[in-house]
Structure 1
Amino acid sequence: MSQKVIGLVGGMSWESSAEYYRIINERVRDRLGGLHSARCLMWSFDFAEIEALQHADRWDDATALMIEAAQRLERGGADFVVICTNTMHRMAGQVQAAIGLPLLHIADPTADRIRAAGLRRVGLLGTAFTMEQDFYKGRLVERHGLEVLVPGEEDRAVVHRVIYDELVQGRVEEASRQAYREVIARLVERGAEAVILGCTEIMLLVRPEDSPVPLYDTTTIHAEAAVDLALSEYGAAIPG
């Protein structure tokens, strides 16, 4: 079976990008056996540059960098593009418009799994940008018909702080795991039937046993969807 080349836009942060690389290669080995591994390319950012643009609200500059990264992957021979972060799907539409390759949006395979499980009302954890802006929630609601709950203001601040002050720096603190458990519990009290780990680093901290409802880890789901596409016959069309 011929593999397509996965183009990974990574480095946001490298900790979660390393998980993408691991999961993708493990799944290819599981599917094909033997010594098989994934055919992939990765463009990895210096995350300090991206983080500074995010928090300075310089999204146009960040978009230009993301487009450049995707175009580098296209020139390098990628068959489709995967943005290895939830937050930077804020500019997924602009990136898709600037390249001639499909872009596998992180929200779509996540929503597909949730709907396949018969669930509709979901909690969303992520950076403040992901939880508060409409680029991610709106896609889940409008394209997939989900009802999305986000934490209250204080809980959103805690979730965001832990991501940037700890997880992207490779720190996994037990106190933060407990804080996330409490945030999840409050979402469940409000009716969440499942919780989306909508930041690719959260899977480093939160485990299934930390939640009374199913957790949907976007890192693993996105990586597995990339493998499905890479091993599909000639590449099934990706919804735009």
Structure 2
Amino acid sequence: MKTIGLIGGMSWESSAQYYRIINQEVRERLGGVHSARSLMFSVDFGEIERLQHDGNWPALTIAMVDAAERLQRGGADFVVICTNTMHRMADEVTANISIPLLHIADPTGEVIAAAGYRRVGLLGTAFTMEQEFYKARLAGKFGLDVIVPDDADRAVVHEIIYKELVAGTVLSRSRAAYRAIMARLVERGAEAIILGCTEIMLLVGADDSSVPLFDTTTLHAQAAVDEALAGDTPESISG
């Protein structure tokens, strides 16, 4: 089994979900009391959030590269950044380590394309919804037509993430707001919706949307297990 290197803390609410999903998947696939071999370097999200809203992406890039290098030195076989937004500097991280980076958009795009959907809505932080680093990868690699909420709805989505979800606060009124925003994306032709922030899974699920939801947290964590167990069997791992 390969060792998974997790860059967490952005926020730790979703990082805890990564840890849970990864270990549940390993146990289900291998049976018994198997669990994942993993390392996590968890950052202080207070510092990260401030730099994001200051637009200090060079400092954020340094922080992500440093975290990835620490995981590599610690023995990780590949790196998982446990957040969508910080994949803005995925190329720089990849360039500074000699182990692979498992990009969060790839398992998401693969599953959506395989399901036959083309026009998809995207919810996430303002950075993920408005900048091109994420949408362009989904379009370029998987042929997806990605649409995002309008200005007012993007502001609501972003505020709920940063004022509530990253602190573990889940409110019924915020769930209702997300339901309405997703419905408007469907009215504009979205055949499916990407939960493109790793905390959104805490707020909404399949029952909140008339079209399929694709949760990047779950898909990314499952892909990490795929990579960790590639070529292994329960017998080979048990020795």
Task: Give the TM bin, normalised by the shorter chain.
Answer: over 0.9
Partner of 2:196: 198
1: CA distance, partners of 2:62 / 2:142:
28
Task: Report the residue type matching 2:97 in the other structure.
Answer: I
2:237 corresponds to: none
Query: 1:70-114 CA deviation, whole Å, 9 max, x = no partner?
Result: 000000000000000000000000000000000000000000000
Q: Following the alignment from structure 2 to structure 1, what is the Cα–Cα distance between the partners of residues 208 and 34?
A: 34
Tell me the distance in 2 between the aligned counterparts of 1:137 and 1:9. Answer: 22
Whole-Å separation in 2 of the counterparts to 1:142 and 1:223: 23
Q: Which residue does the alignment assign to 1:69?
A: 67
Quote the Cα distance in structure 2 between the aligned partners of 1:214 and 1:86: 19
Specify the SS of the correspondent of 2:89.
helix
Could you say which residue in structure 1 is the equivalent of 2:29? 31
Deviations 1:150-174, CA, capped at 9 Å, x for gaps: 0000000000000000000110000
CA shift, 1:142, in A, is 1.1
- Counterpart position of 1:121: 119
Q: Distance in 2 between matches of 1:207 and 1:147?
A: 22
In the TM superposition, residue 143 of structure 1 has moved relative to its aligned partner by 1.4
Q: Taking structure 1 as the reference length, what is the TM-score of the superposition?
A: 0.96
Written as runs of structure 1 = structure 2, the 5 A alignment for 1:74-223 is 74-223=72-221
1:232 corresponds to which of 215, 226, 230? 230
Deviations 1:96-135 (A, max 9, x none): 0000000000000000000111110000000000000000
> C-alpha separation between the residues in 2 aligned to 1:207 and 1:124?
15
Q: Compute the displacement of 1:144 (Å).
A: 1.2
Shift of 1:207: 1.0
Q: 1:35 Cα shift? A: 1.0
- TM-score (structure 2 length as normaliser): 0.96
Moved over 4 A (4+): none
C-alpha RMSD of the superposition:
0.6
Distance in 2 between residues matched to 1:143 and 1:109, nearest whole Å: 11
How many corresponding residue pairs? 232
2:15: which partner in 1?
Answer: 17
Question: How far apart are 1:26 and its partner, in Å?
Answer: 0.1
Q: Which amino acid aligns with 2:40?
A: M
Over residues 203-231 of structure 1, what are the superposed CA-to-partner deviations in whole Å (9 max), with x where a residue is unaligned?
Answer: 00011000000000000000000000000
- Taking the aligned partners of 1:214 and 1:96, their CA distance within structure 2 comes to 31
| Cα distance in 1 for residues equivalent to 2:59 and 2:203 | 30
Partner of 1:42: 40
CA distance in 1, matches of 2:18, 2:113: 23
Residue identity (%) = 69
Counterpart AA for 2:148: V
* Structure 2: distance between partners of 1:31 and 1:145: 31
Which residue of the other structure, out of 43, 50, 53, is the alignment partner of 1:52? 50
Distance in 1 of aligned mates of 2:55 and 2:92: 17
Structure 2 distance, partners of 1:59, 1:122, is 27
Rounded to whole Å, the distance in 2 between the matches of 1:50 and 1:144 is 30
